[in-house]
A and B are shown apart, each in its own frame.
Chain A
Amino acid sequence: MLKKIVKKILGKNSPERLGYTIDLVTLSQDGFTVTGWYFDDCFCEVAVKSLDTSKSKFTTETLERNDVFAATGKKALGFTLHCFTEKSPADFKLEFVGSTGQKQLFEIASSDKDKVSSVFTNLDASSSSEVKVAFEMTFYDKESLFFSGWILDSGNMDSMFFEDAADKYRIESKDILRYTRADVAEAFGDEAKSTKQPGFTFRIPLNSPLTARGFKKFKLNIEVDGNVNTVSIPKIETLDESPLVSIQRIMNAWKIHNKKHRQLCDSTIQPVVKNIFPVDKTCRSSRVDFGLVTSPKASVIIPLYGRYDFMRYQLSNFSRFGSLKDYEVLYVVDDPKISTAVGKLAKELSVVFSQPFSVITLAENMGFGGANNIGVKHAKSDKLILLNSDVLPKDGTWADKMIAQIDKHDDVGVVGARLLFEDNSIQHDGMAPMVLKEYPELLLNDHPNKGWPVSLSKNPAEVADCPLLTAACIAISKSLFEEVGGFDPAYVLGDFEDSDLCLKVLEAGKRNVICRDVELHHLERQSQNLVAAGDWKHKLTIYNAIIYNQRWSQKLDELFDLGKGTH
């Protein structure tokens, strides 16, 4: 299996010679995204350069590509580069920077001509024409096969089918997601003109795992205008690379601005993502205590991901104001990359600051919800405060005030707070559903009055009912949190699980409140902006939104009276 990949990769214009490979170029509303990888020893940076030498705005994310390493024995870095532009990818070149600073420019689209998996002739009643097809991603996870690539079929494909052991599988064109491919159009010119949407993505559920023979010698039949052609697909990947790599590649083959793509999310995308991020995933955790609080008023759970220096600012703040003197503070390190550094910093901070705290280290990245759920299991108190690491309180009374709401009122479920940006404008004053014109059928979470001066808010600084609250800072009783099942792990990498929790608590017969007399700073990261981003994380947000709407759109409609056209 590996040998075959090597052979394929080492073909003409091989990455071995070039030092890089472009897996996919996809268009989005605000630009285009290039996904690929390069060898560590050839290059150290990738950028995009406009041919007219104007400055290009782009963002890059990199990840280790263990799959490339497995196939070639050389270390490679995967990249997802998103360029913000109205122009076509053909107006740009990729610039790779070598370790000594030398720069090389490469075409973004041209390599597609070399990626053709198969060419067959379509014998249509009126004429015969050549059909080119390429399979760029073939994922197999025992329950299904997931394909994406492109085909120059003039839009005439009827179905694809194959057999394995006793099972026959077929997918009709109505169940195949199609999309434009600027890179393919560019590479094939006139030949591609009759195919408006060469790109395809589909998933075939399996009755039973593939047989060994079916896996190794996989053949797919493609039916175009009634003619059947057989294509062999030598490279079927199993999803054993890093989940973050898999999810990025899958998201790139899913076009969220296309309504059909959103509608078929549950049959095409969700089952594959569920296997990458299984909902029953657990992981080992270890705990170190730096000081102890006996019989704490509540347990404060703070996940750490990426930036861990926030610990310093928070512990300094808690120590200065004494707000958590009698609370159990649990940091949950949800990022194996930082766990060693967190351990070292924690030791330092425990000497400098009086606030006792504990560090729970997770063996794997569990995501925001998963990390909180594990933190809750460690909580000694029967009351919880869930806090983001980038929240900084303003005084010493916030925690007591929030916990008092749970203590005083049996019917209160989730307690939230008024959160402010660093310039003291509103970051969160309670959430509400909203609709964006790009996704008219989806209810998303809005933060009304975001960025406003507090003085313009019509909400007085007092406790009020509020159904939806951000989990950046909430209080809830541990028993209620566990009764409703905690944060739902179906939401991938942290979106909507807070409003989902709030709605579950309402369903359990409680009411949620916001303490607008409690103000904390929340230094929300700009990357979470829902509208501007065009990359895979934004797609993941829409993925999570679809799950959220499957569950709650009706309930939200009742709660917020949306049927009457509020939005």
Chain B
Amino acid sequence: MQKVLFLSHGHPELSKGGAEVASWNLFEALKEQGFECMYVARTDGKSHGGSTFSIRAQDQVLFHTGMTDWFNLSSSNIKHLFTDLSELVSSFDPDIIHVHHYAHIGIEVLAALRQAAPNAKVVFTLHEFMAICMHNGQMVKNRTLKLCYKSNENDCHDCYPQHSPADHFLRKQYLLDQFSHVDSFVSPSHFLADRYIEWGLNEDKIHVIENVLPAMPILAPRVLLEGEKRTRFAFFGQINPYKGIDILLEAFLKLPEEVLGIVALDIHGANMDIQTSELKEKVAGLLARLQGVVTMRGAYESHQLSHLLEECDWVIIPSVWWENSPVVIQEAIAHGRPLIGANIGGMKEKIEGIAGLTFDARSSSSLATKIQQAMEPECFDEWVGKLSKKNDHLKTHIEFLNSLFVETY
């Protein structure tokens, strides 16, 4: 039986980021398929008796460590990585090490894993552009928030002038050095993969495989009354400046009055409370003008998702950054709900021609036009029909893992 060790920068029960959730879903799915799995998640909290590890279950270990240098994404906690984690890993003796992040852990973890399990295959899943872009891995310019098309040490210096172009160059070379310990990269989107290849990763090492989701029921379309249109829209996800919530609300304000009278938008968004006062004020101002149209539904748990999707016709993803492969797109597709998304990056790749409509990114008037188009039942039916083609991403992933062994033996 093949043994797979997962390393994530957070446990999804403690922190619900895309990478945490994606790695967890794969962990659960592989266990079900008979793989022996161990999930190691980094955590902030203090452990009992100062130990480096604690557990949440026999196969779920919490790794108490932290990163010391966010410029180089590096850690000086050498004992944590090269002694403690190393001993744990060699004791488990994995065939595959499935790394989902180095943030909060330190990029040197790749060298530590390589030393601890010289014969294991190290697989690294790319979730955003953190190695390429200091701006939270978003490839959106610092301050101006303009889209960034390519990293370059001089342009990066413009965004982060406290580091010289030479320092940005050194950072990149250092990260590329550390990535040389990885046998195979997984990217959930071609878009993300292409950006990393352009940046310097070896094309032959990158495999584009979509994130694995747990089994989800296909929901029947909402039953319409006589003459009713597809007027129920929903937003799912975190609220932060990159998610385009302001553009979404502005688009609704641009709808003709008679349309505004019949549409509804539910915002299922977490973390509104921790946003900057600037964003909060802007959103509050827009919401005040959309009373009776928009409902703030707050955060949701994953088991509520089906029920919440059932209430809506369309899911809107208006992000102003590129995105990779947002889980919400895959979830909507799996449940049989079409999407309207911005026509850039991962959203364009996953939606255009596959799962719904796209609009000119960052343009509220373009989004308003698409919303009106989407309301027509014929448009909805056309896209729901296309969604029924199912892809088995788990099967693809297992084939990929098996191919690693074919190369080995």
> What per-residue 1/0 map shows which CB atoms of A328-356 lie under 8 Å from chain B?
00000000000000000001100111000
Q: A523–B157 Cα gap in the complex (Å)?
A: 15
- Residues of A316-374 at the interface with B, using a CB-CB cut-off of 8 Å, are 316-317, 319-320, 347-348, 351-353
Interface pair A352/B170, CB less than 8 Å apart:
no
> Does B147 count as interface, using CB distance less than 8 angstroms?
no
In the assembled complex, how far is the CB of residue B98 from the closest CB belonging to chain A, in whole angstroms? 22
> What per-residue 1/0 map shows which CB atoms of B140-175 lie under 8 Å from chain A?
000000000000011000000000011011100110
Q: With contacts A312-B74, A390-B166, A423-B165 known, what are 14 further pairs, Cβ within 8 A?
A: A310-B170, A313-B170, A313-B174, A320-B177, A347-B78, A348-B76, A351-B78, A352-B78, A352-B82, A352-B111, A352-B112, A422-B153, A422-B165, A521-B169
- With a CB–CB cut-off of 8 A, which chain B residues contact A310? 170
Interface pair B170/A392, CB less than 8 Å apart:
yes
In the assembled complex, how far is the CB of residue A522 from the closest CB belonging to chain B, in whole angstroms? 10
> What per-residue 1/0 map shows which CB atoms of A266-288 lie under 8 Å from chain B?
00000000000000000000000
> Does B180 count as interface, using CB distance less than 8 angstroms?
yes
Q: Sample 25 A-B pairs with CB under 8 A, ordered by A number.
A: A310-B170, A312-B72, A312-B74, A312-B174, A313-B170, A316-B174, A316-B178, A317-B173, A317-B177, A319-B177, A320-B177, A347-B78, A348-B78, A351-B78, A351-B82, A352-B82, A352-B108, A352-B111, A353-B111, A392-B170, A422-B165, A422-B169, A423-B153, A523-B166, A523-B169
Q: A348–B83 Cα gap in the complex (Å)?
A: 12
- With a CB–CB cut-off of 8 A, which chain A residues contact B72? 312
Interface pair A422/B166, CB less than 8 Å apart:
yes
Q: A392–B154 Cα gap in the complex (Å)?
A: 18
Q: A182–B73 Cα gap in the complex (Å)?
A: 50
In the assembled complex, how far is the CB of residue A322 from the closest CB belonging to chain B, in whole angstroms? 11
Q: A316–B74 Cα gap in the complex (Å)?
A: 12
- Residues of A516-532 at the interface with B, using a CB-CB cut-off of 8 Å, are 521, 523
Interface pair A316/B177, CB less than 8 Å apart:
yes
Q: A423–B172 Cα gap in the complex (Å)?
A: 13
- With a CB–CB cut-off of 8 A, which chain B residues contact A317? 173, 177
Q: A474–B112 Cα gap in the complex (Å)?
A: 34
Q: Which residue on chain B has the smallest CB distance to residue A349? A: B78
Q: Which residue on chain A has the smallest CB distance to residue B72? A: A312
In the assembled complex, how far is the CB of residue A340 from the closest CB belonging to chain B, in whole angstroms? 15
Q: A391–B328 Cα gap in the complex (Å)?
A: 46
Q: A274–B323 Cα gap in the complex (Å)?
A: 63
Q: Which residue on chain B has the smallest CB distance to residue A316? A: B177
Interface pair A392/B173, CB less than 8 Å apart:
yes
In the assembled complex, how far is the CB of residue B15 from the closest CB belonging to chain A, in whole angstroms? 27
Interface pair A423/B154, CB less than 8 Å apart:
yes
- With a CB–CB cut-off of 8 A, which chain A residues contact B166? 390, 422, 523
Q: A320–B181 Cα gap in the complex (Å)?
A: 9
- With a CB–CB cut-off of 8 A, which chain B residues contact A348? 76, 78
- With a CB–CB cut-off of 8 A, which chain B residues contact A523? 166, 169-170
Q: Which residue on chain B has the smallest CB distance to residue A394? A: B173
Q: A317–B170 Cα gap in the complex (Å)?
A: 10
Q: A347–B173 Cα gap in the complex (Å)?
A: 22
In the assembled complex, how far is the CB of residue B87 from the closest CB belonging to chain A, in whole angstroms? 14
- With a CB–CB cut-off of 8 A, which chain A residues contact B168? 422
Q: A399–B169 Cα gap in the complex (Å)?
A: 22
Q: A523–B164 Cα gap in the complex (Å)?
A: 10
- With a CB–CB cut-off of 8 A, which chain B residues contact A319? 177
Q: Which residue on chain A has the smallest CB distance to residue B166? A: A523
- With a CB–CB cut-off of 8 A, which chain B residues contact A422? 153, 165-166, 168-169
Q: Which residue on chain B has the smallest CB distance to residue A350? A: B78
- With a CB–CB cut-off of 8 A, which chain A residues contact B112? 352
In the assembled complex, how far is the CB of residue A344 from the closest CB belonging to chain B, in whole angstroms? 8
Q: A310–B180 Cα gap in the complex (Å)?
A: 19
In the assembled complex, how far is the CB of residue A527 from the closest CB belonging to chain B, in whole angstroms? 11
Q: Which 3 A/B pairs are nearest by Cβ-Cβ distance?
A: A422-B169, A523-B166, A320-B177
Q: Which of B112, B166, B169, B174 has the most CB of A within 10 A?
A: B166
Q: A422–B180 Cα gap in the complex (Å)?
A: 20
In the assembled complex, how far is the CB of residue A350 from the closest CB belonging to chain B, in whole angstroms? 9
Q: Which residue on chain A has the smallest CB distance to residue B83? A: A351
Q: A347–B82 Cα gap in the complex (Å)?
A: 12
Interface pair A320/B180, CB less than 8 Å apart:
yes
- With a CB–CB cut-off of 8 A, which chain A residues contact B82? 351-352
- With a CB–CB cut-off of 8 A, which chain A residues contact B173? 313, 316-317, 392
- With a CB–CB cut-off of 8 A, which chain B residues contact A316? 173-174, 177-178
Q: A312–B175 Cα gap in the complex (Å)?
A: 11
- Residues of B158-212 at the interface with A, using a CB-CB cut-off of 8 Å, are 165-166, 168-170, 173-174, 177-178, 180
Q: A424–B330 Cα gap in the complex (Å)?
A: 41
- With a CB–CB cut-off of 8 A, which chain A residues contact B169? 422, 521, 523
Q: A77–B165 Cα gap in the complex (Å)?
A: 31
In the assembled complex, how far is the CB of residue B75 from the closest CB belonging to chain A, in whole angstroms? 9
Q: Which residue on chain A has the smallest CB distance to residue B108? A: A352
- Residues of A394-425 at the interface with B, using a CB-CB cut-off of 8 Å, are 422-423
Q: A390–B167 Cα gap in the complex (Å)?
A: 10
In the assembled complex, how far is the CB of residue B295 from the closest CB belonging to chain A, in whole angstroms? 48
> What per-residue 1/0 map shows which CB atoms of B302-343 lie under 8 Å from chain A?
000000000000000000000000000000000000000000
Q: A348–B72 Cα gap in the complex (Å)?
A: 15
Q: A310–B166 Cα gap in the complex (Å)?
A: 11
- With a CB–CB cut-off of 8 A, which chain A residues contact B178? 316
In the assembled complex, how far is the CB of residue A261 from the closest CB belonging to chain B, in whole angstroms? 34
Q: A402–B76 Cα gap in the complex (Å)?
A: 34
- With a CB–CB cut-off of 8 A, which chain A residues contact B111? 352-353
Q: A347–B78 Cα gap in the complex (Å)?
A: 9
Q: A423–B152 Cα gap in the complex (Å)?
A: 9
Q: A132–B178 Cα gap in the complex (Å)?
A: 67
Q: A310–B108 Cα gap in the complex (Å)?
A: 16
Q: A342–B82 Cα gap in the complex (Å)?
A: 20
In the assembled complex, how far is the CB of residue A143 from the closest CB belonging to chain B, in whole angstroms? 43
Q: A390–B170 Cα gap in the complex (Å)?
A: 9
- With a CB–CB cut-off of 8 A, which chain A residues contact B108? 352
Q: A231–B195 Cα gap in the complex (Å)?
A: 75
Q: Which of A312, A319, A347, A352 has the most CB of B within 10 A?
A: A352
- With a CB–CB cut-off of 8 A, which chain A residues contact B180? 320
Q: A317–B165 Cα gap in the complex (Å)?
A: 18
In the assembled complex, how far is the CB of residue A419 from the closest CB belonging to chain B, in whole angstroms? 13
- With a CB–CB cut-off of 8 A, which chain B residues contact A347? 78
In the assembled complex, how far is the CB of residue A526 from the closest CB belonging to chain B, in whole angstroms? 8
- With a CB–CB cut-off of 8 A, which chain A residues contact B165? 422-423
In the assembled complex, how far is the CB of residue A472 from the closest CB belonging to chain B, in whole angstroms? 14
Q: A353–B178 Cα gap in the complex (Å)?
A: 10
Q: A294–B178 Cα gap in the complex (Å)?
A: 27
Q: A310–B82 Cα gap in the complex (Å)?
A: 22
In the assembled complex, how far is the CB of residue B140 from the closest CB belonging to chain A, in whole angstroms? 23
- With a CB–CB cut-off of 8 A, which chain B residues contact A313? 170, 173-174
Q: Which residue on chain A has the smallest CB distance to residue B172? A: A422
Q: A336–B173 Cα gap in the complex (Å)?
A: 29
In the assembled complex, how far is the CB of residue B217 from the closest CB belonging to chain A, in whole angstroms? 48
Q: A313–B170 Cα gap in the complex (Å)?
A: 7
Q: A521–B173 Cα gap in the complex (Å)?
A: 11
Q: Which residue on chain B has the smallest CB distance to residue A393? A: B173
> What per-residue 1/0 map shows which CB atoms of B32-43 lie under 8 Å from chain A?
000000000000
In the assembled complex, how far is the CB of residue B109 from the closest CB belonging to chain A, in whole angstroms? 10
Q: A313–B175 Cα gap in the complex (Å)?
A: 10
Q: Which of A316, A320, A353, A521 has the most CB of B within 10 A?
A: A316
Q: Which residue on chain B has the smallest CB distance to residue A347? A: B78
Q: A181–B168 Cα gap in the complex (Å)?
A: 43
Q: A111–B145 Cα gap in the complex (Å)?
A: 50
